[in-house]
Amino acid sequence: MIEKKFLTRTECGKDIVAYTIMNASGASVTLCNIGAAIISVNVPDRDGKLADVVLGYSDPLSYFGDGPCMGKVPGRYANRIAGGKFILDGKEYTLPVNNGPNHLHGGPEGFQNKVWESREHEGGVEFMYFSEDGEMGYPGALKAVARYEWSEDNELRLTFTAETDAPTIVNLTNHAYFNLNGEGSGTVLDHELRLNASEYLPTEGTLIPLGESEPVAGTPMDFVTAKRLGRDINEDFPALRYGKGYDACFVIDGAEEGVLQEAAELYSPESGRVLSVFTTQPGIQIYTGNWLAGCPESKNGGHYSDYDGVAMECQKFPDTPNRPDYPSAVLRPGEVYEEAIIYAFSVRK
């Protein structure tokens, strides 16, 4: 069942709407056309009690221009591009710098801050955004579609497609923050995370990768065996100092273009909820909400603190346009960009 609801209207007259998809068990997902956002996921704990496990805001308009990129689809290029510059086919392109010296999430007017067109279609909800040639400095007019489907087994499937009329770069993900005890319940540092990633990308101080990936073994970046997010977060280690916590891209073991692969499993011992993440993407950025304090009023009428949610962003690697050795982010006319992410919710007794 899909229910569409009008939320509010922007100053320029655009309707902000939400779609709630509910399955037979009563578990549901709510999506919004601001940034094609996930604004609510209600799933049961080990006792069958439903709770919303995605962070979000009380005022829909707060989703515009927020620092955390709460629940939204950043673009045209998620994550960082060094110095806001890249070269494609011999031509240099300049993008707005909005994260220290770097370009982040497509810039201040990235896809996450746009009202997407939306519709119910074949049992799911589709959002479409048309990005003009030159928008935020990117070449080529790009049509991007984000399709969400919610299953009877509490699996949220997100499929991205994009097409362009000129060579460009594309990297799309979702930036939802999860708290498996329920949003507003406090820290996620007691959640246990396991990653299908034996290597990660070390960075310099502004979180631009230095180059080749390195083994996580013997470092605080090792989540090959599940451990608490907070166990090593205060260790004196470069990746943790630079980000005030985890904000790093992990290389998914066995990643193969177009093939769904397990990327992560998040578990809350308190609630029993489990979130398994699968993707066709080569990397997953783990961000422990290190700068959530000070963001707009939360859905529960309070305010989030740092580490109250964790984002697991399946994506191409950061700064790929400047790294020919990384899996390519180039999209050319006649090609179709297509990537998928599955968030599968379950419980552990």
Please identify every residue annotated as catalytic: 175, 313
**Is the backbone peptide bond immediately before 241 cis, with ω within 30 degrees of 0?**
no
Structure-token match 């810039």, residue found: 107
Radius of gyration, CA atoms only, the chain: 19
Closest CA to 156 of 38, 71, 60: 38
Q: Are 190 and 174 in contact (CB under 8 A)?
A: no
Name, in order, each residue with C-beta under 8 angstroms of 309's C-beta and a sequence gap of 6 or more.
Answer: 54, 55, 177, 178, 179, 183, 188, 289, 292
Residue 231 C-alpha from the chain's centroid: 23
Task: Report residue 283 as tokens.
Answer: 């990397």
Q: How far is CA 184 from CA 27, 116, 280, in A?
A: 19, 28, 31
The two beta strands, 103-104 and 80-81, are: antiparallel
Q: Are 85 and 95 in contact (CB under 8 A)?
A: yes
Q: How far is CA 290 from CA 33, 53, 75, 195, 207, in A?
A: 26, 18, 21, 19, 14
- DSSP assignment of 169-214: E-B-----EE-TT-TTS---TTSEEEES-SEE--B-TTS-B-SS-E
Cα(15)–Cα(10) distance, integer angstroms: 7
Three-state secondary-structure class, residue 144: strand
